Structure 1
Amino acid sequence: MATDEIPDETDHTGTDRVELTRDPESRIARVTLTDPDRRNALSTELASGVVAALDRLEGTDTRCVVVAGEESAFSAGGDVEAMVERADADEPLDDAVRHVIQDTGRCVRRLYESEFPTVAKVTGPAFGAGANLAIAADVLLFHADARIGFGFRNVGLAVDSGTSFLLPRLVGDNVAAELVYTGELLDADRALELGIANHVFDAETFEREAEALIEEIASGPSVALRTSKRLLRADSPSLGQAIRNEASAQAAVFDTQDHAEGVSAFVEKREPEFEGR
């Protein structure tokens, strides 16, 4: 897909519950969950909208993707109203399982597997599958009032949408087990302490501090950062294999304009100006 096909203005990706915007200068893309009346719950429509937005960006020169929830919530998680409707309609169990895999699970996986550096701006509650969507991002920035929890047990369910993979990678097996078994709702400081949040910013500075970090990521050498992301996410069985994977990947990055600019800037003792090429 050509770069100029990506929207530089608001684009609703087939639903009014997800908004995709992209700044042509910074090349920062923003995926915003826009169903605040339901606290941005991951309904079939919203989850599909997130996938569509990320698909629109694939293969472009986007430098960073930011995911956020509109108004006071990041995402309340699974669509409880839809769960009630399915139960009342005596929906077949296969349909419920299909929803987890094709809707919420696919949405979380699509963000996790995005080729670009990704940032979640968590300004309010992120629960259940919504918490998984947040931790599927590479970097999590928390508003001081944000909360996150994996309380599937509170609605009588086992974990889903990637919890069993994503959460232990962040906090370790034993802490993940406790969070799942108790359904503990973490405030921002506790999330920072456990390594879920990268930063916590207070109400007065959140937007300024978050945007400064997002711009710093976006101004980096994009090809190198995307390559580094692939290496960080790779399941290397040993240090030796990791080094070999890195060496192979580095060969392609050596030929980029940004590498040449980085070397020149180092020699000339100035800040590099990376173009993302």
Structure 2
Amino acid sequence: MIQYSYQNNLKEDMPMKLEKLQFVVEDGVGIITMNYMKNLNAIDDQMADELMYVVDTCENDPNVKVVVLKGMPKAFSAGGDIGYFYNLIQQGGEVNMDSLISKVGNVTDGLKRMSKLVISSVSGAAAGAGVSLAFSGDFVVCADNAKFIMAFVNLGLVPDTGGTYLFVKSLGIQKAMELCVTGRPMKAQEAKDAGMVYDVVPAEELDDTVMKLAKKFASGPLLSYKNIKKQIYQAGLADYKKYLDECEIPTQRECAASSDFIEGVKAFMEKRKAEFKGE
């Protein structure tokens, strides 16, 4: 097993200590584990930086033949760090998500572009940006307790990190509209029935199931897998990065500057129903 704990950042002269992720290579499988349960693996700037680094590392490390992206048993990822936004609002600061959204968009696009197969291993809740991150895998394997929540609308926001795009591509316009507008949870079995999830297994069998699949791929025709991914990206995702840059960032910027967003964050943290005014 190759274990990475202290590594170089994307800039070669700047070391990065992985604090919110673990990354090991086992039998050709690069295992990325989000393990910052203090905020349920919320994706903040540090998490995004670490994810960008390990995605780049996996692409360029010849020891990595297949990638597994996982969270912890309780939660895959809670999405954005709402507590951080709340504290910033309380202090009178401006919330600008452009940089963070751009970073995580680079992660999700990087996973889709990667020349190696990516398996998402999902246990517990994946919410907000965590949903988009999970569905950036080529194969999504879920514990039977997994659920996906496009919770952005509850904060007066729009889905980011490619969520709307990936839902429209996978589910069609009407189903994507329903899930994004209502923000209702989609359980693992529903996602499997819709074709978004490869397999659903008992929670205690998730790790073994994922590793068995990953090792099978690691011993398969890697050049074939690489070029199948390239074909599928060009056939179905060729405008993905353009969508992220030219549609997602500006639409989220407008929503994040609204009074509704401030109200949504306050209501969430204060455990009350939000009173939106559409402004």
TM-score, normalised via structure 1 length: 0.76
CA distance in 2, matches of 1:66, 1:200: 16
Note if contact 2:121-2:206 (Cα within 8 Å) is conserved in structure 1.
no
Which residue identity lines up with residue 139 of structure 2 in the other structure? Answer: V
The residue number in structure 1 matching 2:36 is 35
CA distance in 2, matches of 1:12, 1:67: 19
Note if contact 1:117-1:225 (Cα within 8 Å) is conserved in structure 2.
yes
1:1-277 aligned at under 5 Å gives the runs 8-11=2-5, 13=7, 14-23=17-26, 26-61=27-62, 62-92=64-94, 95-102=96-103, 104-235=104-235
Deviations 1:18-51 (A, max 9, x none): 111112xx21101110101211110111111111
Which residue identity lines up with residue 185 of structure 2 in the other structure? Answer: L
Which residue identity lines up with residue 36 of structure 1 in the other structure? Answer: M
Matched positions, count: 227
CA distance in 1, matches of 2:236, 2:211: 33
Shift of 1:195: 1.6
Which residue identity lines up with residue 72 of structure 1 in the other structure? Answer: K
Indicate how the Cα distance of structure 1 residues 87 and 106 shifts in structure 2: closer, same or farther if over 3 A, else same.
Answer: farther
Structure 2 unaligned blocks of 5 or more: 8-16, 238-279
Shift of 1:106: 2.8
Note if contact 2:5-2:18 (Cα within 8 Å) is conserved in structure 1.
no
Indicate how the Cα distance of structure 1 residues 204 and 159 shifts in structure 2: closer, same or farther if over 3 A, else same.
Answer: closer
CA distance in 1, matches of 2:72, 2:174: 33
Note if contact 1:9-1:21 (Cα within 8 Å) is conserved in structure 2.
yes
CA distance in 1, matches of 2:100, 2:216: 37
CA distance in 2, matches of 1:110, 1:47: 12
Shift of 1:149: 1.6
Shift of 1:163: 1.4
Deviations 1:58-79 (A, max 9, x none): 2332210000013411101111
CA distance in 1, matches of 2:235, 2:94: 36
Q: Supply the RMSD in Å over aligned alpha carbons.
A: 1.9
Note if contact 2:68-2:119 (Cα within 8 Å) is conserved in structure 1.
yes
Shift of 1:133: 0.3
Shift of 1:236: 7.1
SS of 2:119's equivalent? strand
SS of 1:234's equivalent? helix
Note if contact 1:12-1:19 (Cα within 8 Å) is conserved in structure 2.
no
Which residue identity lines up with residue 157 of structure 1 in the other structure? Answer: L
CA distance in 1, matches of 2:97, 2:213: 39
CA distance in 2, matches of 1:169, 1:236: 8
Indicate how the Cα distance of structure 1 residues 84 and 21 shifts in structure 2: closer, same or farther if over 3 A, else same.
Answer: same
SS of 1:118's equivalent? strand
Note if contact 1:48-1:107 (Cα within 8 Å) is conserved in structure 2.
no
Indicate how the Cα distance of structure 1 residues 119 and 84 shifts in structure 2: closer, same or farther if over 3 A, else same.
Answer: same
Higher relative contact order (CA 8 A, sep 6+): 2
Indicate how the Cα distance of structure 1 residues 60 and 10 shifts in structure 2: closer, same or farther if over 3 A, else same.
Answer: closer
SS of 2:168's equivalent? helix
Deviations 1:120-171 (A, max 9, x none): 0001110110000000111000000111121211111112111121111111
TM-score, normalised via structure 2 length: 0.76
CA distance in 2, matches of 1:9, 1:43: 24
Shift of 1:115: 2.1
Note if contact 2:34-2:71 (Cα within 8 Å) is conserved in structure 1.
yes
CA distance in 2, matches of 1:212, 1:60: 21
Note if contact 2:164-2:180 (Cα within 8 Å) is conserved in structure 1.
no
**Which has a greater percent of strand?**
2
Shift of 1:87: 1.8
Which residue identity lines up with residue 27 of structure 1 in the other structure? Answer: G
CA distance in 2, matches of 1:122, 1:46: 17
Which residue identity lines up with residue 179 of structure 1 in the other structure? Answer: L
